[in-house]
């Protein structure tokens, strides 16, 4: 990616990319013969799809799980945060008082009250029970209690080995024990509906090799009770994301699995599913263009804010509140149109940033060490005089414990930034889709006329509404597993 980006790169080629090919909105005909029949089909092997499969099986349904990828786990397996569970054992041990009401209030505040309250309640009030289920029934082990920005209390149970595999693994083991088949390389193409518009099956591509669209063979699976769609977000679909936020062109990478392409959502739309909050797509402001995926810079950045400062290399000046929320910071970096620089003195760094993080960044080249501010300025092409002025002004703010320019939070133990510096470049990545299919408290999908779409259930990031405009860290895992369980039970209990 070359910077500065031109206007076209920044402002979106979304619509220009619309291909005037054949209009695809033609209902799929009911096949003469189905290749297979199940009670409940779960599409996707992330947290939601697997949780739904376990619950659907336990409610007495015959269940099949499919996933288009060659490996299970979807984008969930990349999750790094933890599980927001009010009332969890570690909170009790630490004497931290928490409640579903408090989690709900946090979600609504972060969500700008754009949350579908009915859905947010399902997650807030279901989180503890599902934490117990994960702990006691699946045998998930937790590492420690973490505090995440925007939450009122420390309530996030982090993974024993640091990733979502710590939950996906036990879920797959449980499904294996229950003899529920998980069929990979099987891609959902279309829903099949009856004369009343109800979902009665799916068209899939078996033996599909992602991302080769022409691979595999078409098969039809009859679904007697319900389909649970759990195909995740669309962060990796540039055309879809630019339609709703034209700034999010191919100039931005995504932290997500390459599988997060949104075709499941589109298949649902083709049979009438409604969507909501599609315009709210979360960017991570803390990713570096100098490493791939999520990387180590986010940890470096979140540990540095309130101590170091963020600079626009073009002007040599600060341009945003470094302790502002994800959205505020990401929007500001996009607005300047090129990567920002975050810098922190060695003194502050050593006290507040884990050395393992700094070492990993130095090793992969995303974090750099500079013997002096002048050297840093030269390396990033910043006017050294202007940079010096900005750092002096920030150090002055630190001394006074107040930032007159952007009202950033300055922590009490912050020291003046001077001497040796550590720094990295920052360019946002697409991280999470707050919008998606409209569902109700029972995980039933709502159509564009606001009626229930019979036979279709959805859970997890493919749905919109739970998080409003901003999702809090570690609430997506609660969302995915709670709603996956709701959807699996509801699908199994549906009378077709």
Contact residues: a second copy, CB under 8 A: 10-12, 14-27, 108, 113-119, 193, 195-198, 239-240, 243-247, 266, 269-272, 274-280, 334-335, 435, 438, 440-441, 446-454, 465, 468
In angstroms, give the least distance from the CB of 455 to a second copy: 9
From the candidates 205, 241, 326, 329, which is the catalytic residue?
A: 326
Structure tokens at 12: 């979106």
In the residue annotation, 183 being an active-site residue is answered as: no
Tell me the closest approach of the beta carbon of residue 210 to a second copy, in angstroms.
19
Helix 475-493 vs helix 47-58: crossing angle, to nearest 10: 30
* 8 vs 401 by CB, closer to a second copy: 8
Helix %, strand %, coil % of the chain (to 5): 35, 20, 45
Q: Do the beta carbons of residue 462 and residue 32 sit within 8 Å?
A: no
Q: Are the beta carbons of 443 and 466 closer than 8 angstroms?
A: no
The structure tokens listed for 440 are: 């109700």
Nearer to a second copy, 109 or 141 (CB): 109
Nearer to a second copy, 43 or 182 (CB): 43
Identity of the residue, 171 or 271, whose beta carbon is nearer to a second copy in the bound complex = 271
User: What minimum distance in Å lies between the beta carbon of 270 and a second copy?
Assistant: 7
Whether 107 contacts 467, CB under 8 Å:
yes
Q: Where on the phi/psi map is residue 162: left (φ > 0), alpha (ψ -120 to 50), or beta?
A: left
Q: Which is nearer to a second copy, 108 or 252 (CB)?
A: 108
- Residue 465 to residue 443: CA distance in whole angstroms: 12
DSSP secondary structure string for all residues of 350-398: HHHS-HHHHHHHHHHTSEEEESSHHHHHHHHT--HHHHHHHHHHHHHHH
Please give the structure tokens belonging to residue 400.
């006074």
CB 97 within 8 A of CB 109: no
Cis peptide before 211 (omega within 30 of 0): yes
For residue 444, the minimal CB distance to a second copy (Å) is 8
Q: Could you tell me the smallest distance in angstroms from the CB atom of residue 332 to a second copy?
A: 12
Burial class for 329, CB neighbours closer than 10 Å (0-12, 13-18, 19+): buried
Minimal distance, residue 269 CB to a second copy, in Å: 4
Query: Tokens 């997500």 identify what position?
Result: 256
- Closest to a second copy by CB, 107 vs 157, is 107
Buried-state track 244-264, b at ≥16 Cβ within 10 A, e below 16: bbebbbebbbbbbbebbbbbb
Residue placing its CB nearer to a second copy in the complex, 71 or 335 = 335
The nearest distance, CB 117 to a second copy, in angstroms, is 5
Rounded Cα distance between 190 and 201, Å, is 9
**Closer of 22 and 355 to a second copy (Cβ):** 22
Taking every pair of Cα atoms in the chain, the longest distance, rounded to a whole number of angstroms, is 77
Least separation, in Å, of the C-beta of 230 and a second copy? Answer: 19
Instruction: List active site positions.
Output: 326
């Amino acid at each position: 990616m070359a910077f500065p980006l031109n206007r076209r790169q920044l402002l979106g080629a979304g619509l220009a990319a619309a291909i005037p090919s054949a209009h695809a909105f033609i209902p799929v005909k009911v096949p003469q013969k189905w290749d297979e029949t199940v009670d409940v089909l779960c599409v996707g092997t992330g947290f939601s799809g697997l949780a739904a499969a376990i619950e659907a099986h336990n409610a007495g349904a015959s269940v099949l799980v499919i996933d288009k990828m060659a490996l299970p786990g979807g984008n969930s397996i990349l999750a790094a945060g933890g599980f927001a569970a009010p009332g969890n054992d570690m909170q009790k041990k630490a004497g931290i008082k928490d409640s579903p009401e408090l989690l709900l209030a946090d979600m609504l505040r972060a969500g700008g009250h754009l949350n579908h309250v009915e859905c947010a309640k399902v997650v807030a009030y279901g989180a503890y029970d599902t934490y117990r289920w994960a702990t006691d029934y699946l045998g998930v082990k937790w590492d420690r209690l973490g505090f995440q920005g925007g939450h009122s209390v420390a309530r996030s149970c982090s993974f024993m080995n640091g990733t979502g595999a710590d939950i996906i693994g036990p879920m797959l083991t449980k499904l294996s024990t229950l003899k529920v088949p998980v069929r990979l390389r099987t891609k959902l193409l279309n829903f099949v509906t009856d004369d009343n518009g109800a979902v009665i099956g799916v068209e899939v591509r078996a033996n599909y090799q992602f991302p080769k669209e022409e691979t595999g063979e078409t098969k039809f699976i009859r679904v007697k009770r319900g389909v649970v769609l759990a195909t995740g977000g669309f962060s990796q679909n540039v055309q879809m994301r630019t339609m709703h936020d034209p700034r999010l062109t191919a100039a931005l990478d995504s932290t997500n699995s390459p599988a997060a392409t949104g075709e499941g959502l589109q298949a649902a739309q083709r049979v009438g599913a409604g969507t909501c909050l599609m315009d709210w797509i979360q960017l991570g402001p803390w990713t570096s263009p100098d490493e791939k995926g999520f990387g180590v810079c986010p940890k470096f950045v979140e540990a540095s804010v309130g101590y170091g400062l963020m600079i626009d290399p073009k002007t040599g000046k600060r341009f945003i509140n470094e302790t502002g929320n994800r959205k505020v910071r990401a929007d500001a970096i996009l607005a300047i149109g090129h990567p920002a620089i975050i810098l922190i003195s060695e003194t502050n760094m050593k006290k507040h940033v884990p050395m393992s993080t700094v070492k990993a960044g130095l090793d992969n080249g995303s974090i750099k060490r500079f013997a002096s501010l002048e050297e840093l300025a030269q390396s990033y092409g910043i006017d050294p005089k202007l940079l010096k002025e900005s750092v002096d002004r920030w150090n002055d703010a630190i001394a006074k414990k107040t930032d007159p320019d952007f009202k950033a939070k300055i922590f009490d133990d912050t020291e003046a930034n001077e001497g040796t510096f550590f720094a990295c470049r920052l360019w946002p990545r697409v991280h999470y889709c707050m919008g998606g299919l409209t569902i109700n408290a029972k995980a039933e999908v709502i159509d564009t006329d606001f009626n229930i779409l019979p036979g279709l259930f959805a859970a997890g990031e493919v749905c919109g509404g739970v998080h409003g405009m901003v999702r809090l860290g570690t609430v997506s895992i609660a969302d995915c597993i709670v709603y996956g369980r709701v959807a699996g039970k509801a699908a199994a209990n549906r009378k077709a």
